[in-house]
Structure 1
Amino acid sequence: MAVEHACRITHVAREEHLRASHCKPWRDSSNEQRLDGENGLLLTPSIDHLFDRGFISFSDDGQVIVSPVAHGDSLRMMGVDPEAPPSVGAFSSVQRQYLDYHRDNVLLRSSFLERL
C-alpha cells in the first residue's frame, strides 16, 4: 500500500475491497521479492483473478495486455474490454522488472502463438 493506492483498472481504493497481487508469483520469488512492495499491485478480486491466472498483464507503459485465450464476454463483465483495453499509467522501473517476469511466465499464450 506504500507503492499502490488503488486498483489500477477499477480505481477502487477501499482496502477491504482489494487484494495484494504479486507480479512475480510468491512460489517463484525469493523471500526478499515476496515482501517487496514493488512486486505487488492492489487489485479488486476479479481483476486479481485475471492477473493471477494470466488472462491479463500490463506493458511497461501501463497498457493492459489481454491474453488471446481470455474469454472476451467474461472480461467485459469484469470491467475489461478486450477490444479496447485501458491504459492504467506508467510503472516504476522496479515494477517493470517484475511485470516483465509476469508477461514472460504467467501471461497465457495461445497454442498457435507458442508454435511460432
Structure 2
Amino acid sequence: MTVRAGCAERTAKKRGAGGAPPNGPHVDHLFDGGWITFDETGKLITSPFLPEEALRLCNLPENVETGPFNEAQIEYLRYHHVHVFKRPVTE
C-alpha cells in the first residue's frame, strides 16, 4: 500500500502547517481523529485505543511508511502527537 500526502495535507494547510500525511478518506479520518500518526521518518504509529479490527477494515497494514517529511510536515506531526493523537496518559 502506498501512502501519499493527500487529504490530511489539505487539513494541515487549513491549520497553517505545510502539510501532513497521509492519503485517502479512511486514513484521513483515522489521522484527524488521533487514531494514527506518523513518526518523523514516516513510520505509522497506531493508538493503543484503536481496535485492530479498524485497521483491518480500512485495509491499513501496520507496517506503512510514508517516506521522509519536509520540515513543515514534521512541525505539524509534532503538534499532532501532543494535541491530537490518542495515547495513554502518563504521570
| TM-score normalized by the length of structure 1 | 0.64
Q: Percent identity?
A: 30
Q: CA RMSD in A?
A: 2.7
Matches within 5 A, 1:56-75: 56-75=36-55
Cα pair distance change 1:23/1:69, threshold 3 Å: farther
Q: Deviations over 1:24-57 (max 9, x none)?
A: 8x5xx4xxx1xx5x23446211001100100000
Larger radius of gyration: 1
**Does structure 1 retain, via aligned residues, the 8 Å contact 2:22–2:66?**
no
Name the count of aligned residue pairs: 90
Corresponding residue for 1:54? Answer: 34
Unaligned runs of 5+ in 1: 1-6
Q: Residues of 1 paired with 2:74 and 2:8: CA distance?
A: 17
Give every structure 1 segment of 4 or more consecutive aligned residues whose post-TM-superposition deviation is greater than 6 Å. Answer: none
One-letter code of the match for 2:34?
G
Corresponding residue for 2:86? Answer: 108
Q: Which has the higher contact order (CA 8 A, sep 6+)?
A: 2
Greater strand content: 1
Q: Residues of 2 paired with 1:92 and 1:60: CA distance?
A: 9
One-letter code of the match for 1:19?
C
One-letter code of the match for 1:50?
L
Q: Residues of 1 paired with 2:48 and 2:22: CA distance?
A: 24
| TM-score normalized by the length of structure 2 | 0.79
